[in-house]
Amino acid sequence: MCGIFGVTGDKDTTELLIHGLKRMEYRGYDSSGICLNNEELIRKRAVGPLSNLEPLVVDLPDSKCGIAHTRWATHGAPTVENAHPHVSSELDVAVVHNGIIENEVELRNFLKSDDKELEFESETDSELVAHLLSKELKKINSKIKNITEDQILSSWKNVIDKLEGSYALAAVISGREDSILFARKFAPLILSHDGKRGLLASDVSCVVGLSESVFYLEEGDWGIIKDLGVKIFNIDGDTVELKPKKLEWELGDAELGGYPTFMLKEIYEQPRVVRDCLRGRLSRDKIKGVKIPYHPRLLRIVGCGTAYNAGLLARYYIEQLSKIPVILDHAHEFRYGAPSGPKSLVVGISQSGETADTLAAIDAAQERGYPTLGIVNVESSTIARNVDHIIGIRAGPEIGVASTKAFTGQVLGGLLIAMKLGQDSKNFHREDLSYFDRHARMLPTSMERMLNDQNIKTKLWEAQQYFSGKNHAFFLGRNTSYPIALEGALKLKEISYIHAEGYAGGELKHGPLALVEEGTPIVVIASEGSSHKKLLGNAREVSSRGAKVIFITHQEDELADSHADLVIKVPRTHDLLQPLMYNIICQLLSLNIAEERGCNVDRPRNLAKSVTVE
């Protein structure tokens, strides 16, 4: 969600703060702001994208310390008053915050009871932290310059002990021109220090190119970062000695690289994701490097949004190849159900590895004594550190808010689990793996050929016309194409703002058919075997009621042409891999439609990357 960034010990602080905000604007773009820490705090804020803030910081004085924020609104509308950084009444403390303070009402009442004249500038929960720290400091000495560092740290600990909920916090104090206080609870926060310059950020994309290694703070860690070093304490106040870890990504991974949008770039990176994800793990006779911490009789998969859709496809794969039953849960609902049945292996899927609901589900599973496995992109993330084992999907930074390449990696991660369990249970045999391996090695080339096929590009343009002036659309699938229908509908609604729903074809007659009218665009995604023939029947049903049918299938399908207004055919591959080919077509279709409607595909309204609040 929101992104925070801090710099200390560099004369180009303003430039670096803007650089950091640009790197993580995908975390929120309702407003942004910076605060420089000189003898006095200098604050600039703006509503809307970062480009609205940049003109305001051009002539700011030099500073060696500052904090910055890009906001996804949770408490209060996107206004200048609600934009971060927030300051205390005396303008002696400034704070940036990612998360939600759940005891906001109690803290607001506490502050007002102590100072009835206190006026809150914003509607946010975050502002309260600035007032609380200012209040704690004044208990010690009205002149902040006379307060020692130990006293400042004690005051900061008193503040964070009062907070309930989730937070990644950074605070600066007027006159302390080399110091940033920080704290982390249930929200990501990393630090970097090279002996002269300290950096603080919500995620690694901000520091790629600025540092080669970072410190990953653990739950409850807090402390102070200065130009000369870092002090980190745990929740009990004990000193923590963290070892820096080398960054996984390089500078070019987080840049456009000649593409007009990150979404298009990341769609075109999917052949590389397939190669990297399967490299060293797949061979003709066995699955390697995939550790499953338990041999289960039942699996529980948890995820949100695109990760949930990838989990649904993984469920089909696992049940088909291993014969082990799978229950799929929305991560935010998992912890509310009572555990039942055999001891389960819980698999959490998350691109960032910081998704709050998925992290909470993993915690709930571990409290119940369940072994856990994570499918994540960021292998240094909180989920990756907390689960028993991980499968890193190796997709590289995903900057576009609407997930594309991560879905491909997540599906492959689920497929690797399915094949490993299938081998262990003697249901997926060596000859099956050899046949799959042959097709998997050819898949990246098939994807590249498809992405550059001029005929497919023409078909996509034709399909795009069916959505002109439309505000409703449907995606239909069955069996392994049903998750692609869900994901296709999600992409279209995320970036084009067309109301789109994905359905299993068998559900049509149970309600959704009532919504089909003349000209309704319906995307049908091919399946395999008998379920494919049923989808052809579904296509006929909606067509007879005036719908415009776009059928996505493979080049060997000879039946689709007589059942649709437009057919898009992709290269044929293994049945288990074919859904990935169809999904890329859905991604490209959604992107084209969104751009035709003038939408910003990298920064869709009301959404943000890495959902770190529940």
- pLDDT tens digit sequence for 577-612: 999 999 999 999 999 999 999 999 998 988 876 665
- Domain positions in the chain are 3-252, 256-450, 453-614
pLDDT of residue 251: 65
Tokens of 218: 């653990």
Residue 339: its pLDDT value, please? 65
Assess whether pLDDT exceeds 60 at residue 613: no
pLDDT of residue 290: 92
288 given a catalytic annotation: no
The pLDDT value recorded for residue 614 is 56
The total of other beta-carbon atoms located within 10 Å of residue 598's CB is 7
- Average predicted confidence (pLDDT) for the chain: 92
Across-strand partners of 166? 100
* Residues 377-409: tens digit of each pLDDT: 988 888 999 999 999 999 998 989 999 999 999
Residue 526 above 70 pLDDT?
A: yes
The verdict on whether omega for the bond into residue 85 sits within 30 degrees of 0, i.e. cis, is: yes
- pLDDT tens by residue, 20-61: 998 888 787 889 999 999 888 999 999 998 999 999 999 899
Annotated catalytic residue within 135, 459, 491, 609: 609
pLDDT the model gives residue 454: 96
Q: Give the mean model confidence (pLDDT) for residues 160-181.
A: 94
Query: What is the three-class DSSP state of 594?
Result: helix
Q: How many helices (H) and strands (E) does the chain have?
A: 16, 24
Q: If pLDDT is split at 50, 70 and 90, which confidence band does 323 have?
A: very high
CATH level 3 topology of 3-252: Glutamine Phosphoribosylpyrophosphate, subunit 1, domain 1 (3.60.20)
State pLDDT tens for residues 497-515.
999 999 999 998 899 888 9
Q: What is the pLDDT of residue 270?
A: 97
* Cα 342 from Cα 320, distance rounded (Å): 20
Domains 256-450 and 453-614 share a fold: yes
pLDDT at 176 over 60: yes
- Model pLDDT, residue 24: 84
Q: What are the pLDDT digits (tens) for 241-254?
A: 888 888 877 766 77
CA 362 – CA 358 distance, rounded (Å) = 6
How big, in percent rounded to 5, are the helix, strand and coil portions of the chain? 40, 25, 40
Mean pLDDT in residue range 509-524: 92
609 annotated active-site? yes
Q: Average pLDDT, stretch 342-363?
A: 91
Q: Is 257 a residue whose pLDDT tops 90?
A: no
| Token duo for residue 63 | 């500073």
Q: Does the structure show a pLDDT above 70 at 111?
A: yes
How many percent of the chain have pLDDT more than 70?
98
Q: Which amino acid is at 137?
A: L
CATH architecture of residue range(s) 453-614:
3-Layer(aba) Sandwich (3.40)
Neighbours of 245 (CB within 10 A): 14
What is the arithmetic mean of pLDDT over 284-295? 88
What is the third-level CATH fold of 256-450? Rossmann fold (3.40.50)
